[in-house]
Amino acid sequence: MSYIAGVDIGNSTTEVCIARVAFDGTLEFLVSASCPTTGIKGTVANVHGITSALKQAMGSLGLGTERLSLIRLNEAAPVIGDTAMETLTETIITDSSMIGHNPSTPAGAGQAVGQVLFMEHLDRAERGTPYILAASRNHSYEAVAEAVNRAVDEGGSIEGMILQADEAVLVENRLHKKIPIIDEVARMDKLPEGVLAAIEVALPGETVRMLSNPYGIATLLKLTPEETQVITPIAKSLVGKRSAVVLKTPGGNVREQVLPAGEITVCGDRDVTINLDEGAEKIMAALSEAGAVRDILGQPATNVGNMFARIRRGMGEVSGEPGAVSAWGTGAAASAQGTHAAVSARGTGAAASVQGTHAAASARGTGTAASAQISAQEPHIRITDILAVDTLAPVVISGALAGETCLEKAVGIAAMVRTEKLPMEEIASRLKAELGVQVAVAGVEAVMASLGALTTPGVAMPLAILDMGGGSTDAAVLYPDGRTELTHQAGAGELVTMLIGIELGLRDHGVAEQIKKYPLAKVESLFHMRMENGQMSFVEESIDPRFFGRVVMLTERGMVRLEEDIPMEKIVQVRREAKRKVFVTNALRALRQVAPEHDLKRISNVVLVGGSAEDFEIPDMLMEEFANYRIVCGRGNIRGSEGPRNAVATGLVLSYIGERQW
């Protein structure tokens, strides 16, 4: 009798299972465990996570790891996923020009136009001139109200107010004449005195109408058609706000700058070049058009060029293939080396960098010079797949007064990097040295996953699996004669986390990860909360008041409060959309790749495995989508007990029995 372990190193999680093998070859699975993967998948840094998971599993059996006879590691696919986001537009205000935010309690309603006048200079107000009074927090609400009442009684024209303190209602309640008042404007010091300002406070339950409309601003500030054109980004960024101020600064300038996103060249059966700002749909169409992809290049000296160079550099460090990395540089133009290089480039811009021989790239459409960086000896590190997703990122507007953000067009990209080989043998020998147990690298990951998936009750061959992990979405079809078709696609859980983080403007990656994983609820009283599906949940013991009124995540360890003030409905919408964009797109893409004649209708059933298959909504989304193709789809239940996890580890143990002759 011996104990053997199957170990699956994933992009995010390392999973193990332990089985007892009797002398007659009878196999009994005993326990499973998992730990976060330490370091990048396929590197020696993984050893620490593997050891922890094995100790955890053996510990639960009351045994030490020295009792293991054999550890079987997956032949991790030499692909690593990475994600990045680039904003394509940026709004810049080169002078103090706007305030647009959502103070919790503005006062009054309507619009007003006037010259900005500081409270300290109220005595300088001229009769007949309309003013917008600005008061810092040094002035009490009583003093402000009294001074304004006096000024108005004496014939002054105070049309609106901007306050630094949260005292708009307190001031308004003490005014004889009601005017719109905006409060909680932190950067009063940046407010220029004497300039013309338009102020608007929306009616309760509404948002500003005049200042979120370029023609509304033009009406209030009497702008020319040219000036109206310039003010458009301001109007756009004030959409949805409850109060706003727009300042007409003569020297000021507002512009929406289009950042040089750069071009992507897909080198495949055909080379196809596409500009990043064409959007995700066209990028993915270009990818399909290129056929079998050998490599994907980013235009040097652009955002996308730098992004791809960063991914390759990271992968080079992992696989120890520096030669391949230096060939790509960091996007700067390199000198041409070798012969027969051919680059066709239209337009002007960055110089093309050419290396090696037989390189060819064509630049289509408008744009800058294309880069051809393919050598006769193909580079060892290649980007073999990307998933591009359109997104909107709230970016802080340069020059705004209250930290206002504007939703800027952005594209999120997950890239799949392929190397010649990952140092799996080195991991195996390190592990052997550390634990004193024989270690074998065995089995192709996707095949092992299929074998493991076969232990799900009710499945039969031919079997299609969709392995949805953190970094990649893999698909495989296992036929009864042993043939296997498999593919790795860029983009999975990590890209979803990134999109959630970007679109909700979250600074903490951990919070975005939790939003992805857990359903939400809003604590509406000390004794009940409303779930995101509308269901009400009541509790006997009062809920901690710190959760009151907050959106919370319902984790297995209880409620976790979300610090950001974002409506629950918005979070749910962003989360679901991110999952749909990544997983539905990728599932269809991956299955089409492995399906007989690339026809989805020729796949009859799909088993979902991997960490993301455990998600509380992704499998349902896929089932809904696959129903259109009459595909039966469901979450795997490995060994009838493990759910969709542990497929590869289980497959590794099963394949051991198959390999041995008993």
Partner 1 sequence: MVMNRPTIFIYTNQPDRAVLKEICAGIEEEGIFFEIFERSVREVNELAWQAAQDSMLGSGLGICGMDAAFSMRGLTRKRCVEICLNPGREQCRRLGSNSARAIKRQPLAMD
Q: Where do contacts with partner 1 occur on this chain (CB under 8 A)?
A: 104-105, 141, 166-170, 173, 524-527, 542, 545-546, 548-550, 565
Helix (H) / strand (E) element for 385: namely strand 382-396
CB-side exposure of 477: number of CA atoms within 13 Å? 18
Nearer to partner 1, 166 or 485 (CB): 166
Residue linked to tokens 């901007």: 162
Q: Beta strand pairing status for 263-267 and 295-298?
A: antiparallel
CB of 55 to partner 1, least distance (A): 40
CB of 167 to partner 1, least distance (A): 6
CB of 177 to partner 1, least distance (A): 19
Sign of the four-CA dihedral 414, 419, 421, 426: negative
Tokens of 435: 């634990």
Tell me, rounded to whole angstroms, the distance of Cα 192 from its chain centroid.
38
Nearer to partner 1, 420 or 565 (CB): 565
CB of 110 to partner 1, least distance (A): 17
CB of 169 to partner 1, least distance (A): 5
Q: What is the DSSP string of 632-659?
A: EEEE--GGGTSTTS-HHHHHHHHHHHHH
Nearer to partner 1, 167 or 494 (CB): 167
Nearer to partner 1, 415 or 551 (CB): 551
CB of 570 to partner 1, least distance (A): 15
Neighbours of 458 (CB within 10 A): 10
Cβ neighbors of 481 (< 8 A, separation 6 or more) are: none
Nearer to partner 1, 148 or 231 (CB): 148
**Strand locations in 88-182 (E):** 89-93, 98-101, 110-118, 130-135, 157-163, 181-182
Helix ranges, 371-492 (H): 424-435, 445-453
Nearer to partner 1, 57 or 520 (CB): 520
The residues with which 85 forms a beta bridge, in sequence order, are 412
Residue whose C-alpha is closest to residue 457's, from 315, 609, 637: 637
Cα 136 from Cα 139, distance rounded (Å) = 6
CB of 561 to partner 1, least distance (A): 9
Nearer to partner 1, 426 or 564 (CB): 564
Nearer to partner 1, 527 or 616 (CB): 527
Tokens of 233: 């980004």
The SS3 call for residue 624 is helix
CB of 180 to partner 1, least distance (A): 16
Nearer to partner 1, 60 or 173 (CB): 173
CB of 546 to partner 1, least distance (A): 6
CB of 527 to partner 1, least distance (A): 6
Nearer to partner 1, 105 or 213 (CB): 105
**Helix 509-517 to helix 568-579 angle, to the nearest 10 degrees?**
80
What single DSSP character describes residue 88? -
The amino acid sitting at 143 is A
Nearer to partner 1, 169 or 441 (CB): 169
Nearer to partner 1, 215 or 548 (CB): 548
CB of 531 to partner 1, least distance (A): 16
Residues 547/523, Cβ–Cβ less than 8 Å: yes
Cα 251 from Cα 656, distance rounded (Å) = 76
Cα 602 from Cα 613, distance rounded (Å) = 22
The residues with which 403 forms a beta bridge, in sequence order, are none
The residues with which 395 forms a beta bridge, in sequence order, are 406
Cα 503 from Cα 516, distance rounded (Å) = 13
Cα 532 from Cα 535, distance rounded (Å) = 7
CB of 405 to partner 1, least distance (A): 20
Residues 176/149, Cβ–Cβ less than 8 Å: yes
Nearer to partner 1, 418 or 550 (CB): 550
Nearer to partner 1, 528 or 580 (CB): 528
**Helix 568-579 to helix 493-503 angle, to the nearest 10 degrees?**
150
Cβ neighbors of 662 (< 8 A, separation 6 or more) are: 24, 25
CB of 106 to partner 1, least distance (A): 11
Q: What angle do CA 475, 446, 48 make, to 5 degrees?
A: 125
